[in-house]
Structure formats: structure tokens, C-alpha cells
Amino acid sequence: MIGRLNHVAIAVPDLAAAAAQYREMLGAEVGAPQDEPDHGVTVVFITLPNTKVELLYPLGEASPIRGFLDKNPAGGIHHICYEVEDILAARDRLVEKGARILGTGEPKTGAHGKPVLFLHPKDFNGTLIELEQV
Amino acid sequence: MIGRLNHVAIAVPDLAAAAAQYREMLGAEVGAPQDEPDHGVTVVFITLPNTKVELLYPLGEASPIRGFLDKNPAGGIHHICYEVEDILAARDRLVEKGARILGTGEPKTGAHGKPVLFLHPKDFNGTLIELEQV
């Protein structure tokens, strides 16, 4: 069911510093910051040959990243995103097997403009998993 | 400098349950458990089309995963691994720019039989980064 690893998302306390670090210390291809007000984050995309890393920084008071950074002031890996072909079929399979979907259980439009769902980290080894339909 | 994302490593409290979950709930290609006594872990490899996920479980009393699971009993993402072409050149560049290498600073032979180094998570947004020469 799951396909490619679409991205690894890392919440960071200083977006400019983290972007500079990936560019200058790690020598990666680092994009410009993009505000995603609908998702409460500013994102910097790091393009690797086979996948992406997304650096996340809170945007607005209701940002879903703010609480994570309060608990992890140095930052940390926030979630990983797996691609699926059919997000409703994926959801139904997961729910049938006992997994919990965060929120309403209905897909939302994610930061890449595609339908996404998040799975409950307590059901998946403490790992927040995003599923994105591609 | 950094190339492909070689793998995402997830520490899990129950390796058989986590492997079954990735196989049956998430429909992924899941390998058999492999003991890596030199690294203090038992590993299950999950092969995705573009990268790997490694499920890690402590092996032996000195396992580097045990403390992580004590702090994170449900499990969690333990590290991410980026590929580099020349690990000594990568290390020298990082040290010159102020990053700290864990341990002696000399590469060890990693779980895939290739030279690896780990970077200090406090220098990299709370993220433990493994570099593997490929």
C-alpha cells in the first residue's frame, strides 16, 4: 500500500539558521522559505536525489508546530510522509485494521496541494505518519 | 555534499508487532529480523521504492537504542541517514564549520558494512544524523 517516502519533516527553532546549515555545512540543495498559512507553517524544502526534507517553522499562533517546539526546543523530526495511490482506500484499510486517523478522518489538502491524512503516533511506534495521495 | 536519504531509523518497543504492522496495515515490503551484535540492535528493513525504513530494537545490555526507548517507551524516529561519497572529506568539512562528530570522530563500520559517522543532534535541530559513505 505505501509507496515512496515523500518527505521527512523536521521542526526547527530557527529556520534561517537551519536552511543555511543544510546549504553550507551539508552542501544540500535548499529552497527559499515558503509560507503555508493554511497549515500554520513556513517551509524550506531540501531536495535530495531520492526524496525531500522539509524544515518546518511555526507560522501564526495556531501553528501545529508550536507545541512540538515547546516540548523540543532544539527541534526534532516531526513526521514522515508516505505516498499512497488512493487515500480513501488507504484510510479504510487502516481503520478496518484498528488504526486511528487524526482529526475528522477525512483527507485535507496538504502543503503540496494533494489530499493528506495523519495517523495517530501512538498506533505507529511513536511516529507521526502523514499519508499523501499522489 | 549529502546525497540520497539512505534510511529513516525508527526505534520500536516490539519488533514483531512493528514489522507485522508495516506488512499488514501499511502493506509494505518487510524483511526478516537481522541481529547486528556489533551495533547492539536487531533490525527489520522495510524497502520502499526510493529509500528504506529501518525498525530498530535493542540487542544486548549495551544497546544504544535502550536509553532512547527508556525515554520514549512508545518508540520514535531515532535517526536519519544521508549518503556521502567521501566520509573523511565530509567529516573534515563539518568539523571545520563547527559541527561535532559523536564518538572518536573516526568512521566506524555501520550496519551495512560501510563507513559511518554520527553528528551531534544538538548541532542539527535535535536530529541525530548518520552519514554513510556509499
Q: Write out pLDDT tens, residues B3-17.
A: 999 999 999 999 999
Active site annotation includes A85: no
Q: Where are the domains of chain B?
A: 5-133
Count CB pairs under 8 A between chains A and B.
111
Helix (H, G, I), strand (E, B) or coil at B51: coil
Q: Are A13 and A75 in contact (CB under 8 A)?
A: yes
- One-letter amino acid of B42: T
b/e map of B30-64 (b: 16 or more CB within 10 Å)?
beeeeeeeebbbbbbbbebebbbbbbbbbbeeebe
| Chain centroid, CA A3 distance in Å | 16
Given the C-alpha cell 502523514, which residue does it identify?
Answer: A130
Rounded to the nearest angstrom, the minimum Cα separation between B69 and chain A is: 10
* Averaged pLDDT, groups of 10, chain A, 134 residues long: 98 98 97 94 98 97 93 97 97 96 93 93 96 96
Q: Which CATH class is domain A5-133?
A: alpha beta
